[in-house]
Amino acid sequence: MNHLNNTQIKVGSAEFSWRPADGSFLFEGDDAILFWINSAFKTFLDTIEEVSGDESANVVLETTGYRMGIIVGEFFYNEGANPADVLNVLPGIYASAGWGTLEIEELDEKEKKAVLRMKNSWEYRINKLQKKKNHGTFIPGHWAGVLTGLFGENLWYRVTSSQLEGDEHCQFEFYPSLITVSENIHELSRRREQAEIFKLENIVEERTKELSDLLKVISSPIIPVLDHIVVIPLLGKYNEDRSKELLEKTINELPKYGADFLILDLTGLDEDISEYTISLFQQLIAATTLLGTKTIMVGISPALSIMMTNSNYHTSDIKSFANLKHGIHYALAERGQRII
């Protein structure tokens, strides 16, 4: 036989034609193409997954299968064909094309529901070569599209058994649903956006913690200015958390300096004095007194002075000075020293 001759055969209920002269192959009268499953087509799917990732690839294959199925189903629907008659014919056509064996387990035209069983589908064979553990999405998506087209109403699927997961066959249940491939695509986009937002939130949380830890280190440091004299500059505004941190830091670190005098420099305090600030003074002075350290306050602003007076805070036992220089001179004098 001349290799340029046209050839046409029928396998089961499917017709195949070859036209070597123009390099074409026809399946049921339409242009088709042949791939080797274990090499070319597997490479094609592997590449899609490599480029887009498994999750995206599953949605792509499911959507593609569904839309291909819609074409088949709507063709028969527009011809006015009975769904049961069509489903009696399609298994032979699909089997002849190498899609695997298909059985119609249940069909309820009134409820528009169906249960299909497949064995040795091309998707199962490729997934097996890929060493996957979960069923694919193209085949069930495709039959959801076929049935949607046949019934003229959107149907979706659930997988109730999977040959790839060890069952004897794959079984798919189809039913009317609001789920659509478009919604699945949007849901994938939302999941990706949410994943990116989650990553950003983690980055922000990490950076915030780093800054918070840094702030704890540099905020209100304990500064040893002379032997047995330390200064703590109070900066900014103090809320409950910041006041607690400073109090704990002072109690834990002050003893190692062997300080006789602690000078609280209030020059850098925020003008909007909170109740926590006044409470902080009281607690700091009480704590340092128990540690055997005398407290001196310097740089008290008029606003702070008024607030302390209105709060009935007793300062008669606390030495106060206008600035840090005077406070240091007083502490030295109390120790019988002076700066020369």
Instruction: Return the beta strands (E) in the chain as ranges.
Output: 7-11, 14-19, 24-27, 30-32, 101-108, 113-119, 155-161, 170-176, 223-226, 229-233, 261-265, 294-298, 319-321
**pLDDT at position 1, please?**
44
Which residue has tokens 């274990």? 38
**pLDDT at position 279, please?**
80
Q: Label residue 12 left, alpha or beta by phi (over 0 means left) and psi (-120 to 50 means alpha).
A: left
**pLDDT at position 336, please?**
86
- Beta carbons of 100 and 124 less than 8 angstroms apart: yes
Residues facing residue 236 across a β-bridge: 269
**pLDDT at position 314, please?**
64
CA-based nearest residue to 160, from 196, 113, 100, 97:
113
Q: Which CATH number fits domain 35-179: 3.90.180.10, 3.30.1380.20, 3.20.190.10, 2.10.50.10?
A: 3.30.1380.20
Residue 72 CA to residue 119 CA, distance in Å, equals 21
Give the angle subtended at the CA of 308 by the CAs of 307 and 312, to the nearest 5°: 115
**pLDDT at position 114, please?**
96
CATH 3.30.1380.20 occupies which residues in the chain? 35-179
Give the angle subtended at the CA of 154 by the CAs of 95 and 138, to the nearest 5°: 40
Architecture in CATH for domain 220-334: 2-Layer Sandwich (3.30)
CATH 3.30.750.24 occupies which residues in the chain? 220-334
CA-based nearest residue to 16, from 32, 5, 4:
32
- Beta carbons of 169 and 118 less than 8 angstroms apart: yes
Tokens of 20: 């070597």
**pLDDT at position 110, please?**
93
337: helix, strand or coil: coil
CA-based nearest residue to 303, from 268, 281, 260, 272:
272
Q: pLDDT averaged over consecutive 10-residue blocks of the chain (340 residues)?
A: 73 86 87 88 88 87 92 92 93 91 94 96 94 92 95 94 94 92 72 71 78 64 88 83 84 88 88 75 86 90 80 74 91 83
Residue 201 CA to residue 104 CA, distance in Å, equals 49
**pLDDT at position 137, please?**
94
Parallel, antiparallel or unpaired: strands 223-226 and 319-321 = unpaired
